[in-house]
Structure 1
Amino acid sequence: MNLGLKFIKVLIFSTNVMFTFGDNSWICTAKADSIASSSAFTNLEKRFKALEMQMKQFQRLSQMNGINTYTTIDGFPKECEEIYENGTRTDGMYMISPDGRCPFLVYCDMKNGGWTVIQRRVDGRISFYRPWREYVTGFGDIDGSFWLGLEKIHRLTRDGSRIYFDMENYDGSRDYAHYNVFTVHEAATAYRMNVDAFGYRGSIKELLSYHDNQRFSTYDRDNDDSSSNCCKDLDGGGWWYKACYKLGNFNGVYGKREMGGVGYYTGVDVQIRNVEIKVKAMHGVC
């Protein structure tokens, strides 16, 4: 396919956006991609900037002997690593389509090799005390603190992915946790999560396997194994709670320096200042 012969058309009707690539079209509603900043205009401006970046990427591809090295239909990359492998090294917002369905906006960490960011906490401006439906669709400011959304995370990880937790402590030091196998299943399973501890690398004790095979929980949809509601007890941040968590209160209250704050549990509660969670395709890694 010669991308030089393709064109992009974007039509905006209220909160709906139509993307047309050649003979293929998607109509994406606000429910399909609800991550937004506090201002609708600012959010729209960010989306157009992301589309401009995408167009530049397409132009670069069209000059590479007319060969499209992306793997999804009509040029949409499946995830950030594909954009990285085609020469882009700039962190920022890009449009992707992991499965050839409606594309959506993500933040790509290009400086570290093309990771797709699914969660970030950098300040307290965005509340993570949210109901089930918002954890499914996503919320926050994709340039700041946000949750990408369970449906999008499922689409990104359904065939298996790697996951990386990048954490900054209150003393300025950093920790990380890296797993080679991470999957979020479909809505019918309540977005059940699987993780394999084999090959774990990290600066902290391996903890996420405690949550393996757990369904996602929010304060209004309790799916954990505890007799109480872990999400309510921990100030309302959704997660794959068991009874209740080890590596997993990253959606707690930002800045709280005790139980219920952003952090993890390894015999004692460890509160952290910032966290970024990102995924990348397995590509045969196991």
Structure 2
Amino acid sequence: MMSHQLVALAIVAICGFATGSLVETPGVTQAPPPLPPQVNPARSRVRNNFRTPVSSSLPLNPARCDYKELMTNLHDRVGILVTLDEDQRHRLEVIDKKLDQLVDSSEARMESMKVQQLNFQQRLDSFEHIQRLSRNTLDELKGETDQVFGPRAVRELKHRLRNRRKMNDISRTVRAIPQDQYTAASGSSDARDFNSSSLSVSDRLDALATLLTSTALNVRAVQWDVAKLAQSINRQRRVSHRKGLGQGPGQGQGQQPPIFYGPSGPGGYQPSSFTRPPSSCQQSFLAIEGILKVQLTPESESFYVACDEDWTVILNRSSDELNFERGWLDYKDGFGNLAGDFFIGLNKLHALTSSAIHELRIVLEDFAGNVAYAGYSTFAIGSEKELYPLNLLGRFQSDLTPSAGDSLSYHAGAKFSTVDADNDNCIDCSCAQKHKGAGWYNNCGTSNVLGQYFQQNYGRAGETGIFWDTFQGKDYSLKRIRMMIRPVNEEEARR
């Protein structure tokens, strides 16, 4: 209240100074006017050389200063400033929350790195211990060997001399003996032994060459038979698909026949292609118990993948034995067992989807045994520098039956987030911490395939469970989920 009176007095003072008059304000007592000065009559007779202005007979009307209007304008401006101050304060609070979240995520990442460093140090210590034990055991074995067979230097020298004699015997030139000399010397046992030994070496070399040639021919024939068998199997799959006999995850549309790294035909041979590992599970006939070693390019490193016929499995979840609430480094390199529950890793997934155009198939199952499918015509993610965004997600394949619905298109274009790396589009929250998992979150999401596994109370798990919104809703946590990719041919990619 006092501040408003002071503002009013200041406005009144300004108005009075500008107009040269006094303005009566409410609440302020006006002082009486001063008395006129006494004029000396003697001095009044003295002539004044200065001109005296003639006063007007009419009184001047002092200009009025409307302080109420000024107060209104000032009050409006103060209100605007208060509103702006509240807006800035709210923004600062949001920034403080985001900074706190960044600090928490950084601390979580540091803790994860510390744990991994401690684990690595423990493994290194155990490896050094095993190495020391191996050295001690090797030294003991060397000492026992030296006691039994003599010093090592002597044994090495004897071994070298023995090898040198063998090389000299093998490389010695066999002279051709004339027939008469051979007949004359046929009675000699030394000559018979010499010729029999020379012929036996030649016979052995010829037999070895024949064996190698026959083995190569047999391998080529087996490879050609396997290639023809694979082509016939794929042909039967396409015919079955056209007749509508199957809609399972291994019987999709546009299936490309497997590329066989072997002979190019009945009379051709490709040694460079034969030695190179396969590049995808479309050569699944080479897999051992569903595990296949692939190499995408001749220059890249090879790695193992799990195959479901010609599909490459990138995620499998069927129990609560493996924790999926992990940090960025774990999801980058992958974790789990290829024969059980696992995640392939973002680096390998980026390499696979960058080498060729792939399609995506997701198989979902609830605890009642109901199975549903969700498929997308194309699928690819970006690199780690881009934070592994879901760059490519094609048309939803609604012809798969029973269909689980489309609960992934909402995540298209989003970056990958973990509990220690918040890369989602939610300003006031961390979707990975909210859903207790990881994934391509937009403003959180309509699916959470990397969430927590609920063995009990799966019907009321909430958004922290493994849910697919268009299949049993967000509150239901699924029993099994499997994500698979496979390359598509050029015609399917253009379509």
SS at 2:421 equivalent: coil
Determine the structure 2 residue equivalent to 1:98: 296
Asked whether the equivalents of residues 214 and 241 of structure 1 are also in contact (C-alpha less than 8 Å), the reply is yes
Counterparts of residues 1-286 of structure 1 (less than 5 Å):
60=223, 62=262, 67=269, 74-81=275-282, 83-84=283-284, 87-88=285-286, 92-100=290-298, 101-110=300-309, 114-158=310-354, 159-201=356-398, 202=400, 203-227=403-427, 228-235=429-436, 237-247=437-447, 249-255=448-454, 257=458, 258-259=461-462, 260-266=464-470, 268-269=473-474, 270-284=476-490, 285-286=492-493
Change in 2 beyond 3 A, CA 1:191/1:174: same
Structure 2: runs of 5+ lacking an equivalent: 1-218, 224-260
Change in 2 beyond 3 A, CA 1:88/1:74: closer
Q: Which amino acid in structure 2 is aligned with residue 104 of structure 1?
A: F
Change in 2 beyond 3 A, CA 1:75/1:209: same
SS at 2:417 equivalent: coil
Asked whether the equivalents of residues 224 and 242 of structure 1 are also in contact (C-alpha less than 8 Å), the reply is yes
Change in 2 beyond 3 A, CA 1:79/1:70: farther
Structure showing the higher helix proportion among its residues? 2
Q: Which amino acid in structure 1 is aligned with residue 322 of structure 2?
A: I
Change in 2 beyond 3 A, CA 1:62/1:200: closer
Structure 2 Cα separation of the partners of residues 218 and 127 of structure 1: 13
Structure showing the higher strand proportion among its residues? 1
Q: Which amino acid in structure 1 is aligned with residue 418 of structure 2?
A: T
Question: How far did 1:91 drift?
Answer: 5.1
SS at 1:193 equivalent: coil
Question: How far did 1:90 drift?
Answer: 6.7
Asked whether the equivalents of residues 230 and 243 of structure 1 are also in contact (C-alpha less than 8 Å), the reply is yes
Asked whether the equivalents of residues 167 and 175 of structure 1 are also in contact (C-alpha less than 8 Å), the reply is yes
Larger radius of gyration: 2
Asked whether the equivalents of residues 128 and 252 of structure 1 are also in contact (C-alpha less than 8 Å), the reply is yes
Question: How far did 1:67 drift?
Answer: 4.1
Determine the structure 2 residue equivalent to 1:19: none
Count matched residues.
220
Using the size of structure 2 for normalisation, the TM-score is 0.42
Asked whether the equivalents of residues 379 and 394 of structure 2 are also in contact (C-alpha less than 8 Å), the reply is no
Determine the structure 2 residue equivalent to 1:16: none
Q: Which amino acid in structure 1 is aligned with residue 434 of structure 2?
A: D
Structure 1 Cα separation of the partners of residues 271 and 480 of structure 2: 35
Structure 2 Cα separation of the partners of residues 133 and 97 of structure 1: 23
Q: Which amino acid in structure 1 is aligned with residue 450 of structure 2?
A: N
Asked whether the equivalents of residues 121 and 276 of structure 1 are also in contact (C-alpha less than 8 Å), the reply is yes
Asked whether the equivalents of residues 262 and 271 of structure 2 are also in contact (C-alpha less than 8 Å), the reply is no
SS at 1:278 equivalent: strand
Using the size of structure 1 for normalisation, the TM-score is 0.70
Asked whether the equivalents of residues 126 and 140 of structure 1 are also in contact (C-alpha less than 8 Å), the reply is yes
Higher normalized contact order (CA 8 Å, seq sep 6+, divided by chain length): 1
Question: How far did 1:194 drift?
Answer: 2.6
Structure 1: runs of 5+ lacking an equivalent: 1-55
Change in 2 beyond 3 A, CA 1:261/1:69: farther
Q: Deviations over 1:160-205 (max 9, x none)?
A: 2101101111100101101111001111111111343425234022
Structure 1 Cα separation of the partners of residues 272 and 364 of structure 2: 31
Change in 2 beyond 3 A, CA 1:69/1:93: farther
SS at 1:135 equivalent: helix
Q: Which amino acid in structure 2 is aligned with residue 223 of structure 1?
A: N
Q: CA RMSD in A?
A: 2.6
Structure 2 Cα separation of the partners of residues 62 and 164 of structure 1: 29
